[in-house]
Amino acid sequence: MTSLKWGQTAINLNEVNQQFVKANAVQIVQWAVDTFDSGLAMTTSFGIHSAVMLHMVTRIVPDIPVIWIDTGYLPAKTYLFAEQLSDRLNLNLKVYQSSLSPARMEAIYGRLWAQEDVESLNRYDQLRKVEPMQRALRELKVTAWLAGLRSSQTDHRKTLNFVNLQGSIYKVLPILRWSSKQVYDYLQTYDLPYHPLFDEGYVTVGDWHSSRPLTATDEDERDTRFNGLKQECGIHLPQSLGESASLDSSSL
């Protein structure tokens, strides 16, 4: 049983997660707002269905800090989609990037994504995604963050609960158990846009060099990311000595 202190409130993760089995996503968001107050932030990738969480959360907390890790390698349509959603929802967007520019990184390490091995991909993700994310959490004094992960997306995400601990920070996942139909219905109900690359066959979108449309031979939607070598970029994995091994999809 995991029981930790947040301010004067004891949070029993087992108990909370059992209660949330029958809760809806909005109720989970409201619990996070009530529990963590100014320590709460959310993350977005401006991916295919990012409008769902951005809309749901900002209806409750309009000025919540929204952390976006810009790798410098996102498709042009992602940047345009981010502008569109930011303007429509009036997001309090906090953009974080690597301290290494893309050109400098390539000069020092080469085109890491093209080296076709997990170690190079892990280094790329550490430089361009994980380090900026950890810096954002520190600088914004985040004690809990809301994310739009769903259990159907990766093997690792199947193991998650509605409320988790990642290091010393709580991670709250309101739509963890949502089906693709629930996501679609929410977008339709509120007339929200999905990422324009969805119409080109993309079911998940990351950097331009490591995302591609779904094909008939793909067994899982995450096969379209990272050249099929792994499933997670590292942002949503525990930061530990064993992280490099855990990033390898064969070990999940």
* Residue 79: CATH number of its domain: 3.40.50.620
| 9 within some domain | yes
E strands of the chain, at which residues? 3-6, 9-12, 40-44, 65-69, 92-96, 144-146, 163-166, 169-172
pLDDT recorded at residue 172: 95
The boundaries of the domain holding residue 75 are 3-242
DSSP state of 240: S
In degrees, to the nearest 5, what angle opens at C-alpha 232 toward C-alphas 230 and 238? 125
Spatial CB neighbours of 10, under 8 Å, sequence gap ≥ 6: 3, 4
Tracing tokens 């890491």 back to the chain, one arrives at: 112
Residues annotated as part of the active site: 233
Is 122:224 a contact under the CB 8 Å cutoff? Answer: no
Tokens of 245: 């091994």
| 70 within some domain | yes
CA distance 33 to 207: 31
| 83 within some domain | yes
**What amino acid occupies position 14?**
N
CA distance 244 to 210: 18
| 248 within some domain | no
pLDDT, tens digit only, all 252 positions of the chain: 344 444 434 588 999 999 999 999 999 999 999 999 999 999 999 998 999 999 999 999 999 999 999 999 999 999 999 999 999 999 999 999 999 999 999 999 999 989 888 888 889 999 999 999 999 999 999 999 999 988 877 677 788 889 988 888 999 999 998 988 999 999 999 999 999 988 888 888 889 888 777 777 766 665 666 665 444 455 555 554 333 333 332 222
CA 115, 121, 122, 125 torsion-angle sign: positive
| 135 within some domain | yes
What is the tally of structural domains in the chain? Answer: 1
DSSP 136-204: HHHHTT-SEEE----TTS-HHHHT--SEEEETTEEEE-TTTT--HHHHHHHHHHTT----GGGGGT-SS
Q: What is the pTM of this model?
A: 0.83
CA distance 58 to 53: 8
CA distance 197 to 225: 14
Kindly tell me the burial class for residue 145, based on how many C-beta atoms sit within 10 Å of its own C-beta (0-12, 13-18, 19 or more). buried
The secondary element (H helix, E strand) that includes residue 20 is helix 13-20
